[in-house]
Amino acid sequence: MDWKNKVVLVTGGTGSFGKKFIQVMLNEYHPAKIIVFSRDELKQHEMRIAGYDDPSLRYFIGDIRDSQRLHRALEGVDIVIHAAALKQVPACEYNPMEAIKTNILGSSNVIDAAIDCGVERVVALSTDKAVNPVNLYGATKLAAEKLIVQSNAYAGGRSARFACVRYGNVVGSRGSVVPVFLKQRESGRVTVTDDRMTRFWISLEQGVRFVIQAAENMHGGEVFVPKIPSMTVVDLAKAIAPEAKVEIVGIRPGEKLHEVLISEDEARQTVELPEMYVVQPAEALWFGRDWEKVGKPLPDNFRYASNTNDQWLNVEQISQIIAPIEADYLAGKLG
C-alpha cells in the first residue's frame, strides 16, 4: 500500500499510541495528510509545540460520541486508525455509562461515518482484556471488537473494510504500571497486587508497527494478535526498583492473575503465522478467511495466555526495555 497518496485519521490522536503512530508516519511513510482527531485542545496544543507541526498534519477537535463531527472529519479520509477509548479500569468501573458511550457507541459512530464517507480501511485497537472480560473496560472493548468485525457485513457494496488489532499491556504508556513503580521506587517500597501475576508486554513502537502491518494486509473482519513475550509483575518491579521492598497488597476488583489474547473457543477459527495469529470472522458470509491459505490451524484447546506463553522476559531484558522510559521519567518527559 502506498501511504503517500492516503489521507489518514487517528482517533485519540493525542494519546501515547496516537503520537507514536503519527511520528512513525511522518518519518517513514509520509501520507498526503494526517488528521489528529481528539477532544482535548490542550493536548493538541502541546503536540504542536512538541514538534508535531508538519505541513501534512491537521488538528480536529471532536469526540467520537459526536456522529456529526465524525462525519465531517472523515470526509475525504482513506484510512482510520481508531485508538480513542476510555481505558482506565477503575474509572470505567466507577463511570460505566461513560465507558459504554465512548468505547461502544463511539466505535459505532466511527463505523457509520466510515461507511458513509467512503473510507477504505478502519483498524481499531483492542486489548487482551476483551477476552473473557472480568471488568467493564474489557466488556466494552469486546463489544467494540464485535461491532468492528460484523460491520463488514453491513458495509454492503461500499468500499469500507474493518479489522481489529488486539495486544497486551504497552510498556510505559499512559496508565501503565511502569511510571507507578518508578514513582514508588523513591519511597523504597513498590506494591504488587499478587506475586503470581503475569502479563503480556509490547513496546509502543512494536504496537504501532503491528497496526501499520495490519492496515496494509487486512481483508476485513480479522482480529490480528501479535506474538509477544510475557513477564511476571514481580520481575518488572525488581527491574525498576531492585533495591526496593516488594509488598503484596492483594488483587483488585476487575483484575486477573493472567491475561488471555486468544481463548480456546476463538482458537478454532484462528490461524498461526510466523509473527502473529489471525482470528478469522466466525461467519464466512463475506471476506476475511483467506488467511487459511497462508497460515496453519491451531491445535485443539489452544489458548494463548500470559502464564503459558513460550516467550518470557527476564529481569535483565526488562531492564533494557524500560531504560528509555526511565530516562524520560527522570527528565520529566513521561506522559
- Which residues are part of the catalytic machinery? 129
d(CA 324, CA 157): 47
Could you give the dihedral angle defined by the CA atoms of residues 150, 156, 161 and 165, in that order, rounded to the nearest 10 degrees? 0
Picking from 193, 6, 24, 173, the residue whose alpha carbon sits closest to that of residue 85 is 173
Rounded to 10°, the helix 106-117/136-150 angle is 20
Q: For the chain, what is the HEC assignment?
A: CCHHHCEEEEECCCCHHHHHHHHHHHHHHCCCEEEEEECCHHHHHHHHHCCCCCCCEEEEECCCCCHHHHHHHCCCCCEEEECCCCCCHHHHHHCHHHHHHHHHHHHHHHHHHHHHHCCCEEEEEEEHHHCCCCCHHHHHHHHHHHHHHHCCCCCCCCCCEEEEEEECEECCCCCCHHHHHHHHHCCCEEEECCCCCEEEEECHHHHHHHHHHHHHHCCCCCEEEECCCEEEHHHHHHHHCCCCEEEECCCCCCCCCCCEEECHHHHCCEEECCCEEEECCCCCCCCCCHHHHCCEECCCCCCEECCCCCCECCHHHHHHHHHHHHHHHHCCCCC
